Structure 1
Protein backbone atom coordinates (compact mmCIF):
# COMPACT_ATOMS: atom_id res chain seq x y z
CA UNK A 1 0.00 0.00 0.00
CA UNK A 2 1.41 3.39 -0.99
CA UNK A 3 1.91 6.02 1.75
CA UNK A 4 -0.83 8.23 0.33
CA UNK A 5 -3.47 5.52 0.01
CA UNK A 6 -6.42 5.62 2.36
CA UNK A 7 -6.32 3.08 5.16
CA UNK A 8 -9.05 0.43 5.15
CA UNK A 9 -11.44 1.04 8.06
CA UNK A 10 -11.40 -1.46 10.88
CA UNK A 11 -14.45 -3.77 11.10
CA UNK A 12 -16.77 -3.13 14.02
CA UNK A 13 -16.03 -5.22 17.12
CA UNK A 14 -18.06 -8.37 17.59
CA UNK A 15 -17.73 -8.68 21.34
CA UNK A 16 -20.87 -6.61 22.13
CA UNK A 17 -23.05 -9.08 20.19
CA UNK A 18 -21.31 -12.01 21.88
CA UNK A 19 -21.81 -10.44 25.30
CA UNK A 20 -25.50 -9.84 24.64
CA UNK A 21 -25.95 -13.43 23.46
CA UNK A 22 -24.20 -14.86 26.53
CA UNK A 23 -26.30 -12.61 28.80
CA UNK A 24 -29.55 -13.79 27.17
CA UNK A 25 -28.54 -17.44 27.53
CA UNK A 26 -27.65 -16.82 31.17
CA UNK A 27 -31.02 -15.18 31.83
CA UNK A 28 -32.84 -18.15 30.29
CA UNK A 29 -30.81 -20.61 32.38
CA UNK A 30 -31.45 -18.66 35.57
CA UNK A 31 -35.16 -18.49 34.79
CA UNK A 32 -35.25 -22.25 34.29
CA UNK A 33 -33.26 -22.83 37.47
CA UNK A 34 -35.73 -20.78 39.49
CA UNK A 35 -38.77 -22.90 38.54
CA UNK A 36 -40.67 -23.78 41.68
CA UNK A 37 -41.49 -27.35 40.69
CA UNK A 38 -37.97 -28.30 39.60
CA UNK A 39 -36.45 -30.76 42.08
CA UNK A 40 -32.79 -30.06 41.49
CA UNK A 41 -31.79 -32.12 44.52
CA UNK A 42 -32.49 -35.27 42.49
CA UNK A 43 -30.06 -34.27 39.74
CA UNK A 44 -27.11 -36.23 41.25
CA UNK A 45 -29.30 -39.36 41.19
CA UNK A 46 -29.95 -39.03 37.47
CA UNK A 47 -26.97 -41.08 36.14
CA UNK A 48 -27.72 -44.00 38.46
CA UNK A 49 -31.43 -44.08 37.61
CA UNK A 50 -30.72 -43.89 33.90
CA UNK A 51 -28.37 -46.88 34.17
CA UNK A 52 -30.95 -48.80 36.19
CA UNK A 53 -33.78 -48.28 33.69
CA UNK A 54 -31.46 -48.86 30.74
CA UNK A 55 -30.35 -52.17 32.26
CA UNK A 56 -33.95 -53.32 32.66
CA UNK A 57 -34.82 -52.33 29.08
CA UNK A 58 -31.70 -54.06 27.78
CA UNK A 59 -32.75 -57.24 29.58
CA UNK A 60 -35.98 -57.24 27.58
CA UNK A 61 -34.09 -56.84 24.31
CA UNK A 62 -31.39 -59.46 24.97
CA UNK A 63 -33.48 -62.15 26.72
CA UNK A 64 -34.18 -65.31 24.73
CA UNK A 65 -37.56 -64.94 22.94
CA UNK A 66 -38.86 -68.22 24.31
CA UNK A 67 -38.34 -67.22 27.94
CA UNK A 68 -41.20 -66.15 30.20
CA UNK A 69 -40.91 -62.84 32.07
CA UNK A 70 -40.95 -62.96 35.88
CA UNK A 71 -43.41 -60.94 37.91
CA UNK A 72 -45.22 -59.39 34.95
CA UNK A 73 -48.95 -58.86 34.47
CA UNK A 74 -49.16 -61.53 31.72
CA UNK A 75 -46.90 -64.43 32.79
CA UNK A 76 -48.22 -66.65 29.96
CA UNK A 77 -46.63 -64.38 27.36
CA UNK A 78 -43.05 -64.99 26.29
CA UNK A 79 -40.57 -62.37 25.21
CA UNK A 80 -41.14 -63.57 21.66
CA UNK A 81 -44.84 -62.72 22.02
CA UNK A 82 -43.82 -59.24 23.14
CA UNK A 83 -41.62 -58.82 20.06
CA UNK A 84 -44.42 -59.96 17.77
CA UNK A 85 -46.92 -57.58 19.36
CA UNK A 86 -44.45 -54.69 19.17
CA UNK A 87 -43.74 -55.44 15.49
CA UNK A 88 -47.47 -55.66 14.73
CA UNK A 89 -48.16 -52.30 16.36
CA UNK A 90 -45.11 -50.78 14.66
CA UNK A 91 -46.51 -51.96 11.34
CA UNK A 92 -49.72 -50.18 12.28
CA UNK A 93 -47.70 -47.02 12.96
CA UNK A 94 -46.05 -47.25 9.53
CA UNK A 95 -49.48 -47.74 7.93
CA UNK A 96 -50.83 -44.67 9.77
CA UNK A 97 -47.84 -42.64 8.59
CA UNK A 98 -48.31 -43.79 4.98
CA UNK A 99 -52.04 -43.00 4.93
CA UNK A 100 -51.44 -39.63 6.57
CA UNK A 101 -48.69 -38.78 4.08
CA UNK A 102 -50.93 -39.71 1.14
CA UNK A 103 -53.70 -37.48 2.53
CA UNK A 104 -51.26 -34.61 3.01
CA UNK A 105 -49.80 -34.97 -0.48
CA UNK A 106 -53.20 -35.27 -2.16
CA UNK A 107 -54.56 -32.03 -0.69
CA UNK A 108 -51.41 -29.95 -0.27
CA UNK A 109 -50.29 -30.17 -3.90
CA UNK A 110 -53.25 -28.36 -5.53
CA UNK A 111 -53.64 -25.97 -2.58
CA UNK A 112 -49.99 -24.91 -2.90
CA UNK A 113 -50.73 -23.45 -6.34
CA UNK A 114 -53.41 -21.30 -4.73
CA UNK A 115 -50.90 -20.07 -2.14
CA UNK A 116 -47.85 -19.33 -4.32
CA UNK A 117 -47.25 -15.74 -5.39
CA UNK A 118 -46.35 -16.83 -8.94
CA UNK A 119 -49.56 -18.77 -9.63
CA UNK A 120 -52.36 -17.13 -7.61
CA UNK A 121 -53.61 -13.60 -6.81
CA UNK A 122 -53.29 -12.19 -3.31
CA UNK A 123 -56.94 -12.70 -2.34
CA UNK A 124 -56.46 -16.46 -2.81
CA UNK A 125 -52.97 -16.63 -1.35
CA UNK A 126 -53.86 -15.03 1.97
CA UNK A 127 -56.57 -17.48 3.16
CA UNK A 128 -54.74 -20.56 1.89
CA UNK A 129 -51.48 -19.56 3.57
CA UNK A 130 -53.38 -18.80 6.77
CA UNK A 131 -54.91 -22.27 6.56
CA UNK A 132 -51.48 -23.86 6.14
CA UNK A 133 -50.07 -21.93 9.09
CA UNK A 134 -53.03 -22.72 11.33
CA UNK A 135 -53.04 -26.49 10.89
CA UNK A 136 -49.23 -26.66 10.95
CA UNK A 137 -49.18 -24.94 14.34
CA UNK A 138 -51.32 -27.64 16.03
CA UNK A 139 -49.44 -30.86 16.97
CA UNK A 140 -50.75 -34.17 15.70
CA UNK A 141 -51.58 -35.43 19.16
CA UNK A 142 -53.82 -32.42 19.86
CA UNK A 143 -55.59 -32.88 16.52
CA UNK A 144 -56.17 -36.51 17.43
CA UNK A 145 -57.51 -35.80 20.93
CA UNK A 146 -59.61 -32.71 20.22
CA UNK A 147 -60.93 -33.38 16.72
CA UNK A 148 -60.36 -36.90 15.39
CA UNK A 149 -61.10 -39.13 18.38
CA UNK A 150 -64.58 -37.61 18.89
CA UNK A 151 -65.27 -38.11 15.15
CA UNK A 152 -63.78 -41.56 14.53
CA UNK A 153 -63.64 -43.08 18.01
CA UNK A 154 -60.78 -45.06 19.53
CA UNK A 155 -59.34 -46.55 16.35
CA UNK A 156 -56.32 -46.02 14.07
CA UNK A 157 -58.30 -43.91 11.58
CA UNK A 158 -58.24 -41.05 14.08
CA UNK A 159 -54.44 -41.14 14.13
CA UNK A 160 -54.19 -41.36 10.34
CA UNK A 161 -56.46 -38.36 9.86
CA UNK A 162 -54.59 -36.30 12.47
CA UNK A 163 -51.29 -37.02 10.73
CA UNK A 164 -52.82 -36.30 7.32
CA UNK A 165 -54.26 -32.92 8.28
CA UNK A 166 -51.03 -31.82 9.93
CA UNK A 167 -49.11 -32.98 6.84
CA UNK A 168 -51.26 -30.75 4.62
CA UNK A 169 -49.88 -27.68 6.38
CA UNK A 170 -46.25 -28.80 6.31
CA UNK A 171 -46.24 -30.14 2.76
CA UNK A 172 -48.24 -27.16 1.49
CA UNK A 173 -45.68 -24.74 2.92
CA UNK A 174 -42.75 -26.61 1.35
CA UNK A 175 -44.52 -27.03 -2.00
CA UNK A 176 -45.53 -23.38 -2.37
CA UNK A 177 -41.96 -22.29 -1.64
CA UNK A 178 -40.78 -24.75 -4.28
CA UNK A 179 -43.27 -23.29 -6.77
CA UNK A 180 -42.03 -19.76 -6.12
CA UNK A 181 -38.38 -20.76 -6.64
CA UNK A 182 -38.65 -22.55 -10.00
CA UNK A 183 -36.78 -21.33 -13.09
CA UNK A 184 -39.05 -18.71 -14.79
CA UNK A 185 -37.52 -19.16 -18.25
CA UNK A 186 -39.56 -22.23 -19.29
CA UNK A 187 -42.71 -20.45 -18.12
CA UNK A 188 -41.82 -17.39 -20.22
CA UNK A 189 -41.13 -19.61 -23.23
CA UNK A 190 -44.51 -21.35 -23.19
CA UNK A 191 -46.23 -18.05 -22.46
CA UNK A 192 -44.64 -16.54 -25.56
CA UNK A 193 -45.94 -19.52 -27.53
CA UNK A 194 -49.50 -18.64 -26.49
CA UNK A 195 -50.06 -21.17 -23.68
CA UNK A 196 -52.97 -20.69 -21.29
CA UNK A 197 -52.52 -20.53 -17.50
CA UNK A 198 -53.26 -24.24 -17.07
CA UNK A 199 -50.95 -25.15 -19.96
CA UNK A 200 -48.15 -23.10 -18.38
CA UNK A 201 -48.59 -24.91 -15.07
CA UNK A 202 -48.83 -28.35 -16.70
CA UNK A 203 -45.90 -28.03 -19.11
CA UNK A 204 -43.49 -25.58 -17.42
CA UNK A 205 -44.17 -25.61 -13.68
CA UNK A 206 -45.12 -29.17 -12.67
CA UNK A 207 -42.17 -30.87 -14.47
CA UNK A 208 -39.75 -28.64 -12.54
CA UNK A 209 -41.69 -29.00 -9.33
CA UNK A 210 -42.39 -32.71 -9.15
CA UNK A 211 -38.97 -34.24 -8.28
CA UNK A 212 -38.40 -31.95 -5.29
CA UNK A 213 -42.03 -32.31 -4.21
CA UNK A 214 -41.92 -36.11 -4.22
CA UNK A 215 -38.72 -35.91 -2.18
CA UNK A 216 -40.61 -33.72 0.31
CA UNK A 217 -43.38 -36.33 0.49
CA UNK A 218 -40.91 -39.10 1.25
CA UNK A 219 -39.20 -37.02 3.92
CA UNK A 220 -42.57 -36.23 5.45
CA UNK A 221 -43.33 -39.95 5.53
CA UNK A 222 -40.24 -40.45 7.69
CA UNK A 223 -41.36 -37.66 10.03
CA UNK A 224 -44.88 -39.09 10.21
CA UNK A 225 -43.55 -42.48 11.33
CA UNK A 226 -42.04 -40.80 14.37
CA UNK A 227 -45.26 -38.89 15.00
CA UNK A 228 -47.45 -41.99 14.66
CA UNK A 229 -45.33 -43.85 17.21
CA UNK A 230 -46.73 -41.63 19.99
CA UNK A 231 -50.38 -41.45 18.93
CA UNK A 232 -51.14 -44.82 20.51
CA UNK A 233 -50.81 -43.16 23.92
CA UNK A 234 -54.20 -41.52 23.28
CA UNK A 235 -55.65 -44.71 21.71
CA UNK A 236 -55.24 -43.40 18.16
CA UNK A 237 -53.35 -46.44 16.92
CA UNK A 238 -49.71 -47.38 16.67
CA UNK A 239 -46.95 -48.69 18.86
CA UNK A 240 -47.45 -45.88 21.36
CA UNK A 241 -50.20 -48.03 22.91
CA UNK A 242 -47.44 -50.04 24.57
CA UNK A 243 -46.20 -46.94 26.38
CA UNK A 244 -49.31 -46.93 28.56
CA UNK A 245 -48.55 -50.49 29.62
CA UNK A 246 -44.89 -49.70 30.29
CA UNK A 247 -45.72 -46.74 32.51
CA UNK A 248 -48.71 -48.33 34.23
CA UNK A 249 -47.10 -51.67 35.06
CA UNK A 250 -43.48 -50.44 35.33
CA UNK A 251 -42.62 -53.13 32.79
CA UNK A 252 -39.40 -51.61 31.51
CA UNK A 253 -38.53 -54.76 29.55
CA UNK A 254 -41.54 -53.88 27.36
CA UNK A 255 -40.08 -50.41 26.98
CA UNK A 256 -36.78 -51.80 25.77
CA UNK A 257 -38.46 -53.99 23.15
CA UNK A 258 -40.66 -51.09 22.05
CA UNK A 259 -37.68 -48.74 21.64
CA UNK A 260 -35.67 -51.39 19.80
CA UNK A 261 -38.49 -52.00 17.31
CA UNK A 262 -39.01 -48.26 16.74
CA UNK A 263 -35.29 -47.67 16.16
CA UNK A 264 -34.85 -50.65 13.81
CA UNK A 265 -37.92 -49.90 11.68
CA UNK A 266 -37.20 -46.17 11.55
CA UNK A 267 -33.61 -46.76 10.40
CA UNK A 268 -34.76 -49.18 7.69
CA UNK A 269 -37.44 -46.79 6.42
CA UNK A 270 -35.04 -43.84 6.52
CA UNK A 271 -32.44 -45.70 4.46
CA UNK A 272 -34.99 -46.84 1.89
CA UNK A 273 -36.55 -43.40 1.65
CA UNK A 274 -33.14 -41.73 1.32
CA UNK A 275 -32.23 -44.06 -1.57
CA UNK A 276 -35.54 -43.34 -3.34
CA UNK A 277 -35.18 -39.57 -2.84
CA UNK A 278 -31.63 -39.67 -4.20
CA UNK A 279 -32.80 -41.63 -7.24
CA UNK A 280 -35.60 -39.12 -7.91
CA UNK A 281 -33.39 -36.06 -7.54
CA UNK A 282 -30.17 -37.28 -9.17
CA UNK A 283 -31.09 -40.18 -11.45
CA UNK A 284 -29.97 -43.77 -11.80
CA UNK A 285 -26.26 -43.13 -12.47
CA UNK A 286 -25.88 -40.89 -9.44
CA UNK A 287 -27.71 -43.47 -7.32
CA UNK A 288 -25.26 -46.17 -8.39
CA UNK A 289 -22.30 -43.98 -7.48
CA UNK A 290 -23.91 -42.99 -4.16
CA UNK A 291 -24.65 -46.62 -3.26
Structure 2
Protein backbone atom coordinates (compact mmCIF):
# COMPACT_ATOMS: atom_id res chain seq x y z
CA UNK A 1 0.00 0.00 0.00
CA UNK A 2 2.16 2.82 -1.33
CA UNK A 3 -0.06 5.59 0.01
CA UNK A 4 -0.71 4.05 3.45
CA UNK A 5 -1.13 6.55 6.26
CA UNK A 6 1.11 5.84 9.22
CA UNK A 7 0.45 6.96 12.79
CA UNK A 8 3.13 7.11 15.48
CA UNK A 9 2.14 7.28 19.14
CA UNK A 10 4.37 8.96 21.72
CA UNK A 11 5.92 10.96 18.90
CA UNK A 12 7.26 13.77 21.08
CA UNK A 13 9.33 11.36 23.17
CA UNK A 14 13.02 10.66 22.57
CA UNK A 15 12.40 7.56 20.46
CA UNK A 16 9.27 8.89 18.78
CA UNK A 17 10.94 12.00 17.38
CA UNK A 18 13.71 9.89 15.88
CA UNK A 19 11.15 7.55 14.31
CA UNK A 20 9.35 10.48 12.70
CA UNK A 21 12.65 11.82 11.42
CA UNK A 22 13.43 8.48 9.75
CA UNK A 23 9.89 8.07 8.44
CA UNK A 24 9.95 11.50 6.87
CA UNK A 25 12.94 10.39 4.79
CA UNK A 26 11.29 7.08 3.85
CA UNK A 27 7.71 8.09 3.03
CA UNK A 28 7.42 11.87 3.25
CA UNK A 29 5.71 14.02 5.87
CA UNK A 30 2.31 13.94 4.16
CA UNK A 31 1.80 10.27 5.05
CA UNK A 32 2.75 10.66 8.72
CA UNK A 33 0.33 11.31 11.58
CA UNK A 34 1.49 11.70 15.16
CA UNK A 35 -0.72 11.04 18.16
CA UNK A 36 0.45 13.03 21.16
CA UNK A 37 -0.92 13.95 24.56
CA UNK A 38 -0.03 17.63 24.14
CA UNK A 39 -0.21 18.84 20.50
CA UNK A 40 1.60 22.04 21.45
CA UNK A 41 4.75 19.99 22.00
CA UNK A 42 4.52 18.76 18.40
CA UNK A 43 4.35 22.22 16.81
CA UNK A 44 7.72 21.63 15.13
CA UNK A 45 6.38 18.45 13.53
CA UNK A 46 3.27 20.23 12.29
CA UNK A 47 5.54 22.89 10.80
CA UNK A 48 7.21 20.31 8.52
CA UNK A 49 3.88 18.92 7.27
CA UNK A 50 3.21 16.09 9.74
CA UNK A 51 -0.42 15.85 10.86
CA UNK A 52 -0.77 16.19 14.63
CA UNK A 53 -3.68 14.62 16.50
CA UNK A 54 -4.43 14.72 20.22
CA UNK A 55 -4.44 11.27 21.80
CA UNK A 56 -3.89 10.26 25.41
CA UNK A 57 -3.21 6.58 26.16
CA UNK A 58 -5.70 6.90 29.02
CA UNK A 59 -8.55 8.26 26.85
CA UNK A 60 -10.10 5.48 24.67
CA UNK A 61 -12.53 7.77 22.83
CA UNK A 62 -9.74 10.19 21.97
CA UNK A 63 -7.62 7.33 20.63
CA UNK A 64 -10.45 6.02 18.44
CA UNK A 65 -10.93 9.47 16.92
CA UNK A 66 -7.17 9.88 16.38
CA UNK A 67 -6.94 6.58 14.49
CA UNK A 68 -9.60 7.48 11.91
CA UNK A 69 -8.30 6.91 8.38
CA UNK A 70 -5.06 5.35 9.61
CA UNK A 71 -3.63 2.25 7.91
CA UNK A 72 -0.67 1.43 10.17
CA UNK A 73 0.15 2.27 13.78
CA UNK A 74 3.47 2.25 15.59
CA UNK A 75 2.69 1.84 19.29
CA UNK A 76 5.69 3.14 21.20
CA UNK A 77 5.40 1.65 24.66
CA UNK A 78 4.27 4.02 27.39
CA UNK A 79 6.90 5.48 29.70
CA UNK A 80 4.58 5.08 32.70
CA UNK A 81 5.91 1.85 34.19
CA UNK A 82 3.15 0.18 36.18
CA UNK A 83 0.37 1.77 34.12
CA UNK A 84 1.44 0.50 30.72
CA UNK A 85 -0.86 -2.47 30.24
CA UNK A 86 -4.24 -0.67 30.44
CA UNK A 87 -2.82 2.15 28.31
CA UNK A 88 -1.58 -0.27 25.66
CA UNK A 89 -4.91 -2.11 25.70
CA UNK A 90 -6.65 1.17 24.95
CA UNK A 91 -4.40 1.74 21.94
CA UNK A 92 -4.87 -1.80 20.62
CA UNK A 93 -8.65 -1.65 21.07
CA UNK A 94 -8.79 1.67 19.23
CA UNK A 95 -6.70 0.26 16.39
CA UNK A 96 -9.06 -2.70 16.04
CA UNK A 97 -12.12 -0.42 15.96
CA UNK A 98 -10.46 1.83 13.39
CA UNK A 99 -9.67 -1.09 11.09
CA UNK A 100 -5.93 -0.54 11.22
CA UNK A 101 -4.16 -3.01 8.93
CA UNK A 102 -0.90 -3.35 10.92
CA UNK A 103 0.24 -2.43 14.42
CA UNK A 104 3.91 -2.52 15.39
CA UNK A 105 4.74 -2.54 19.11
CA UNK A 106 8.06 -1.66 20.76
CA UNK A 107 8.53 -4.45 23.27
CA UNK A 108 11.51 -5.80 25.25
CA UNK A 109 14.37 -7.96 24.00
CA UNK A 110 13.41 -11.65 24.37
CA UNK A 111 10.48 -10.44 26.43
CA UNK A 112 9.00 -13.88 27.04
CA UNK A 113 12.28 -15.22 28.46
CA UNK A 114 13.84 -12.06 29.90
CA UNK A 115 15.01 -12.09 33.55
CA UNK A 116 14.19 -8.37 33.83
CA UNK A 117 11.11 -7.57 35.98
CA UNK A 118 10.41 -4.89 33.37
CA UNK A 119 9.21 -7.66 31.05
CA UNK A 120 5.83 -8.20 32.77
CA UNK A 121 3.90 -5.38 31.10
CA UNK A 122 5.52 -6.07 27.74
CA UNK A 123 4.65 -9.78 27.85
CA UNK A 124 1.06 -8.97 28.84
CA UNK A 125 0.79 -6.41 26.02
CA UNK A 126 2.13 -8.91 23.50
CA UNK A 127 -0.45 -11.47 24.63
CA UNK A 128 -3.27 -8.96 24.37
CA UNK A 129 -2.13 -7.90 20.92
CA UNK A 130 -1.93 -11.48 19.70
CA UNK A 131 -5.46 -12.14 20.95
CA UNK A 132 -6.88 -8.98 19.38
CA UNK A 133 -7.02 -10.39 15.84
CA UNK A 134 -5.09 -7.41 14.48
CA UNK A 135 -2.10 -7.95 12.16
CA UNK A 136 0.96 -7.06 14.22
CA UNK A 137 4.74 -7.06 14.38
CA UNK A 138 6.79 -7.10 17.57
CA UNK A 139 9.89 -4.92 17.76
CA UNK A 140 11.62 -6.34 20.81
CA UNK A 141 14.11 -3.59 21.57
CA UNK A 142 17.25 -4.20 23.57
CA UNK A 143 18.87 -1.59 25.78
CA UNK A 144 19.59 1.90 24.51
CA UNK A 145 23.29 2.74 24.79
CA UNK A 146 22.19 6.23 25.89
CA UNK A 147 20.65 4.69 29.02
CA UNK A 148 24.11 4.91 30.58
CA UNK A 149 24.85 8.50 29.56
CA UNK A 150 23.46 9.80 32.85
CA UNK A 151 26.35 8.11 34.67
CA UNK A 152 29.01 9.97 32.68
CA UNK A 153 29.41 13.06 34.93
CA UNK A 154 29.77 11.11 38.19
CA UNK A 155 32.02 8.48 36.56
CA UNK A 156 34.37 11.20 35.33
CA UNK A 157 34.23 13.08 38.64
CA UNK A 158 34.98 10.04 40.79
CA UNK A 159 36.92 7.95 38.32
CA UNK A 160 34.53 5.09 38.92
CA UNK A 161 31.38 3.57 37.46
CA UNK A 162 29.23 1.60 39.88
CA UNK A 163 26.81 -1.10 38.81
CA UNK A 164 25.53 -4.62 39.44
CA UNK A 165 25.85 -6.20 36.00
CA UNK A 166 28.97 -8.23 36.73
CA UNK A 167 30.43 -9.66 33.54
CA UNK A 168 27.07 -9.58 31.75
CA UNK A 169 27.36 -8.59 28.10
CA UNK A 170 25.02 -5.81 27.05
CA UNK A 171 24.11 -5.73 23.36
CA UNK A 172 22.97 -2.12 23.43
CA UNK A 173 22.43 0.07 20.39
CA UNK A 174 21.82 3.77 19.89
CA UNK A 175 18.25 4.96 20.19
CA UNK A 176 18.44 6.17 16.60
CA UNK A 177 19.21 2.63 15.43
CA UNK A 178 16.01 1.28 16.97
CA UNK A 179 14.07 4.26 15.62
CA UNK A 180 15.30 3.60 12.09
CA UNK A 181 14.30 -0.06 12.34
CA UNK A 182 10.82 0.85 13.55
CA UNK A 183 10.43 3.39 10.75
CA UNK A 184 11.51 0.90 8.09
CA UNK A 185 9.19 -1.84 9.36
CA UNK A 186 6.12 0.38 9.61
CA UNK A 187 6.90 2.01 6.24
CA UNK A 188 7.25 -1.37 4.52
CA UNK A 189 4.05 -2.50 6.18
CA UNK A 190 2.11 -5.70 5.88
CA UNK A 191 5.05 -7.83 4.70
CA UNK A 192 6.23 -7.76 8.32
CA UNK A 193 2.92 -8.95 9.81
CA UNK A 194 3.38 -11.78 12.26
CA UNK A 195 7.11 -11.23 12.65
CA UNK A 196 8.92 -10.99 15.98
CA UNK A 197 12.20 -9.11 15.75
CA UNK A 198 14.80 -9.42 18.52
CA UNK A 199 16.70 -6.14 18.18
CA UNK A 200 20.10 -5.44 19.72
CA UNK A 201 23.49 -3.92 18.99
CA UNK A 202 26.24 -5.60 17.00
CA UNK A 203 29.01 -5.02 19.57
CA UNK A 204 28.10 -6.15 23.10
CA UNK A 205 30.00 -4.63 26.02
CA UNK A 206 30.30 -5.20 29.75
CA UNK A 207 30.11 -2.26 32.13
CA UNK A 208 33.88 -2.62 32.57
CA UNK A 209 34.14 -2.15 28.79
CA UNK A 210 31.85 0.89 29.06
CA UNK A 211 34.09 2.43 31.73
CA UNK A 212 37.18 1.81 29.59
CA UNK A 213 35.51 3.33 26.53
CA UNK A 214 34.52 6.41 28.52
CA UNK A 215 38.06 6.75 29.84
CA UNK A 216 39.41 6.61 26.31
CA UNK A 217 36.86 9.09 24.94
CA UNK A 218 37.30 11.57 27.80
CA UNK A 219 41.02 11.10 28.41
CA UNK A 220 40.42 10.47 32.11
CA UNK A 221 40.74 7.28 34.18
CA UNK A 222 37.46 5.45 34.88
CA UNK A 223 37.18 1.99 36.45
CA UNK A 224 34.14 -0.23 36.93
CA UNK A 225 33.20 -1.33 40.44
CA UNK A 226 30.63 -4.11 40.71
CA UNK A 227 28.20 -4.12 43.64
CA UNK A 228 25.46 -6.47 44.84
CA UNK A 229 22.08 -5.45 43.42
CA UNK A 230 20.70 -4.23 46.76
CA UNK A 231 23.82 -2.20 47.47
CA UNK A 232 23.73 -0.61 44.02
CA UNK A 233 20.05 0.23 44.44
CA UNK A 234 20.81 1.86 47.81
CA UNK A 235 23.61 3.90 46.26
CA UNK A 236 21.29 5.18 43.53
CA UNK A 237 18.72 6.26 46.10
CA UNK A 238 21.45 7.88 48.19
CA UNK A 239 22.57 10.05 45.27
CA UNK A 240 19.02 11.26 44.75
CA UNK A 241 17.31 8.99 42.25
CA UNK A 242 13.63 8.22 42.95
CA UNK A 243 13.13 4.72 44.31
CA UNK A 244 11.24 3.45 41.22
CA UNK A 245 14.10 4.60 38.99
CA UNK A 246 16.67 3.04 41.31
CA UNK A 247 14.69 -0.21 41.26
CA UNK A 248 14.56 -0.17 37.46
CA UNK A 249 18.28 0.45 37.01
CA UNK A 250 19.39 -2.04 39.65
CA UNK A 251 17.09 -4.79 38.38
CA UNK A 252 18.24 -4.11 34.81
CA UNK A 253 21.85 -4.58 35.87
CA UNK A 254 20.96 -7.79 37.69
CA UNK A 255 19.15 -8.98 34.57
CA UNK A 256 22.17 -8.08 32.45
CA UNK A 257 24.35 -10.22 34.72
CA UNK A 258 22.07 -13.14 33.79
CA UNK A 259 22.34 -12.46 30.06
CA UNK A 260 19.06 -10.58 29.79
CA UNK A 261 20.47 -7.75 27.67
CA UNK A 262 22.53 -9.90 25.30
CA UNK A 263 21.63 -10.98 21.78
CA UNK A 264 23.90 -11.87 18.89
CA UNK A 265 21.39 -12.32 16.07
CA UNK A 266 22.33 -9.02 14.35
CA UNK A 267 18.68 -8.63 13.37
CA UNK A 268 18.76 -4.89 14.02
CA UNK A 269 21.68 -4.20 11.70
CA UNK A 270 20.07 -6.32 9.00
CA UNK A 271 16.82 -4.34 9.24
CA UNK A 272 18.56 -0.98 8.98
CA UNK A 273 21.10 -2.12 6.39
CA UNK A 274 24.18 -0.96 8.28
CA UNK A 275 26.16 -1.75 11.45
CA UNK A 276 24.64 -0.41 14.66
CA UNK A 277 26.20 2.70 16.20
CA UNK A 278 29.30 1.96 18.25
CA UNK A 279 29.63 2.60 21.97
CA UNK A 280 32.50 4.97 21.29
CA UNK A 281 30.39 7.05 18.91
CA UNK A 282 27.57 7.37 21.46
CA UNK A 283 29.99 8.40 24.23
CA UNK A 284 31.80 10.88 22.00
CA UNK A 285 28.47 12.50 21.04
CA UNK A 286 27.42 12.68 24.70
CA UNK A 287 30.69 14.28 25.74
CA UNK A 288 30.38 16.87 22.96
CA UNK A 289 27.09 18.19 24.31
Structure 1 length as normaliser, TM-score?
0.22
Higher helix share: 1
The structure having more radius of gyration, on CA atoms, is: 1
TM-score relative to the length of structure 2 = 0.22
More strand as a share of residues: 2
Kindly indicate whether structure 1 or structure 2 has the higher relative contact order, using CA contacts under 8 Å at least 6 residues apart.
1
